[in-house]
Amino acid sequence: MQPVLANLLSRRNLLRQSAAIPGMLGATAFLSQQSLAETVAGATPAGCHFAPRAKRVIHLFMNGGPFHGDLFDPKPALAKYAGQRPSGTDLVTERPTGGLLASPYRFQPCGESGVPVSELLPYLRRHIDDICVLRSVHADNPNHGPALLQMNNGTILPTRPSMGAWFLYGLGTENEDLPGYVVLCPGKPVRFSILWNSAFLPASCQGTYINHSSIDPEKMIPHLRNKKWNQQTQQRQLHLLRQLDAEVQRRNGQDQAFETRIRSMETAFRMQFRASDAFDLNQESQRTRDEYGKGHFANGCLLARRLVERGVRFVQVYYGNSQPWDTHSNHNETVPNLCRAIDQPIASLLADLKQRGLLEDTLIIWGGEFGRTPTSENGNGRDHNHHGFSMWLAGGGVRGGMTWGETDEFGFKAVQDRMHVHDVHATILHLLGLDHERLTYHQAGRDFRLTDVHGNVVQQILA
């Protein structure tokens, strides 16, 4: 903590802030949980339910939906039955598809574990022993909007908090000077800000969206600089703001919206100094920049590392604007380019985190909102497939070098050890030390959860 911030983060202020922001344990690490529980109405006291394996999360989001059969789930039967539609493949997806379309990409067993990875990911292959491939994930809806919502918010309804908001609600942030939940996207994914909203959770839990098309911190973050007042002046101003606000609340009663907004200004104040540092990729050595490679996604990965290193709880890196992985046509022409853009950056991110000792308590999630069909759409494309697809986890408490679950012989449907998105969420929360059944928020007459009334922790993949 910088000394200048000391008075903003006084115990008294923290108490008052945390009263308005239930469960923000990160912000209230100095306080007993009990005092928090006493001050908070309507919310179950949160915080870690057991020892966490991961303290922060990076979610690499392949928006549009990658085809698992090209990358992590080899299906030789596709070539054998190419053009045909054997029984068992008559599943409904978004659009009608035709016969099976073989993946032209070769797999080989990698690492000591021998888990097969596609030739499309030559760099990432080297890290397979740190990666747990979930091959049997499935979701409920084959359309982007609902599927994006389910993957991010646990349900296809646009009115529920995002998982990042749940993380912050449960754990708070480790760095009061930066937003606890940062969403990086060089553009806008479909559904945009609903994917990181806080819904009924405190507004301070929502993600802060940053378009990193340009990597100049002042362009990524509008109004980052004050051209008039220096740090001391701003600090005096915020101090006065708090005092005056306290006067008003003393007379008018407590108002959570007031607290949240003041906090947003205090965070913004600290962000001015910390963000220009945190978001400045030019502070990285040329060697590191080269290792991550070029492109928005590489920059996103490197930014994610800089942010988690500074205690940001959750960073999502969306691959790109709209839905670049949505290969309804010319699939095989597009996928190699997409893979090139992610391969080296992700491999470097894993190596970098490991080298810094961060991988052991940073959870990496990779995946899209769904997978794609093994059958062809109009001959050269692949439709959305929510029946079975791959994601992978690495780092914080995850057993590397393994696969979990299976899809059928064509990769259409998860058949063995099926893992619903709810199970993915339950497992992620578990790794963060949160019991998905106890991380609740009471509103509109009932307790709400990220996993609704579902979800099982997959113990087998825990290290």
Partner 1 sequence: MCCEQAVFQPRQVVHRVRNVIAIYCAVLFWGGVPGAMRAEEGQPTAASADIEFFEKKIRPLLAAKCYSCHSRRAKKLQGSLQVDSHAALLAGGDSGPAIVPGKPEQSLLIAAVQYAPDAQFEMPPQGKLADHEIAALTEWVRRGAPFPGGAALPAESPGKIDFTEARQFWSFVPVQKQSLPDLEQADWPRQRIDHFVLAAMERQGLRPSPEIARAELLRRVTFDLTGLPPTPAEVAAFVQDPSPRAYETVVERLLKSPHFGERWARVWLDLARYTDRTASWLYSTGQAHLYRDWVVQAMNEDMPYDKFVHRQLATDFMPETGPEDVPALGFLGLSPNYWKELQLPSEIIKVIVADEWEERIDAVSRTFLGLTVACARCHDHKFDAITMKDYYALAGVFASCRIKERPTIDEALYAPVRQALLEITKREASIAELKKKKPLPQAEIDALTAEIAAFRNDTPHFDTPLASAVVEESLHVERKGKTMQSGTKLVYQSQPQDLQLFIRGNPNRLGEVVPRRFLTVLSTTDQPVPFKTGSGRLELAQAITTDGAALASRVLVNRIWLAHFGRGLVTTPSNFGQSGQRPSHPKLLNDLAARFIAGGWSLKQLHREIVLSATYRQASRDDGSRSETDPDNIWLARMPRTRLSVEAWRDAMLAVSGDLDRTLGGPSVSLTDTANQRRTLYGTIHRREMSTMLLTHDFPDPTAHSPQRIATTTTLQGLYALNGPLVLARSAALARRLLAAQLTSDQQRIALAYELLFARRPTDRETQLGIEFLGETGSADRANVWSQYAHVLLASNEFLFVN
Site for partner 1 in 366-425 (CB under 8 A): 375-379, 383
CA gap 373, 66 in Å, rounded? 10
> Is 114 an interacting residue with respect to partner 1 (CB under 8 A)?
no
> Is 136 an interacting residue with respect to partner 1 (CB under 8 A)?
no
> Is 273 an interacting residue with respect to partner 1 (CB under 8 A)?
no
Both tokens of 295, joined, read: 């492109």
- H or E, element range at 168: helix 163-171
> Is 255 an interacting residue with respect to partner 1 (CB under 8 A)?
yes
**Complex with partner 1: residue 41 or 51, whichever CB lies closer:** 41
> Is 315 an interacting residue with respect to partner 1 (CB under 8 A)?
no
Among 45, 99, 111, 122, binds partner 1 (CB under 8 A): 99
Length of the chain counted residue by residue: 463
Q: How far is the CB of 411 from partner 1 (least distance, A)?
A: 17
> Is 228 an interacting residue with respect to partner 1 (CB under 8 A)?
yes
Asked whether 345 and 184 are in contact (CB, 8 A), the reply is: no
Q: Where are the alpha helices (DSSP H) in 356-452?
A: 421-431
> Is 262 an interacting residue with respect to partner 1 (CB under 8 A)?
yes
Size of the site for partner 1 (CB under 8 A): 75
> Is 213 an interacting residue with respect to partner 1 (CB under 8 A)?
no
Judged by CB under 8 A, the stretch of 15-23, 70-78, 252-260, 294-302 that binds partner 1 is: 252-260
Residue-wise DSSP of 221-277 = STT---SS--HHHHHHHHHHHHHHHHHHHHHH---HHHHHHHHHHHHHHHHHHHHHH
Which of helix, strand or coil describes residue 120?
coil
Pairing of strands 389-395, 362-367: antiparallel
Sign of CA dihedral 162, 220, 179, 174: positive
CB neighbour list of residue 422: distance below 8 Å, 6 or more residues apart: 154, 451, 452, 454, 455, 456
Among 2, 10, 214, 226, binds partner 1 (CB under 8 A): 226
Which of helix, strand or coil describes residue 187?
coil
Q: How far is the CB of 383 from partner 1 (least distance, A)?
A: 8
> Is 15 an interacting residue with respect to partner 1 (CB under 8 A)?
no
> Is 39 an interacting residue with respect to partner 1 (CB under 8 A)?
no
Judged by CB under 8 A, the stretch of 200-208, 305-313, 432-440, 451-459 that binds partner 1 is: 200-208
CA gap 76, 80 in Å, rounded? 7
Among 35, 122, 258, 276, binds partner 1 (CB under 8 A): 258
Q: How far is the CB of 222 from partner 1 (least distance, A)?
A: 5
For residue 295, CA distances in Å to 298, 317, 338, 342 come to 5, 13, 11, 9
> Is 295 an interacting residue with respect to partner 1 (CB under 8 A)?
no
Judged by CB under 8 A, the stretch of 16-24, 124-132, 247-255, 409-417 that binds partner 1 is: 247-255
> Is 277 an interacting residue with respect to partner 1 (CB under 8 A)?
no
**Complex with partner 1: residue 192 or 437, whichever CB lies closer:** 192
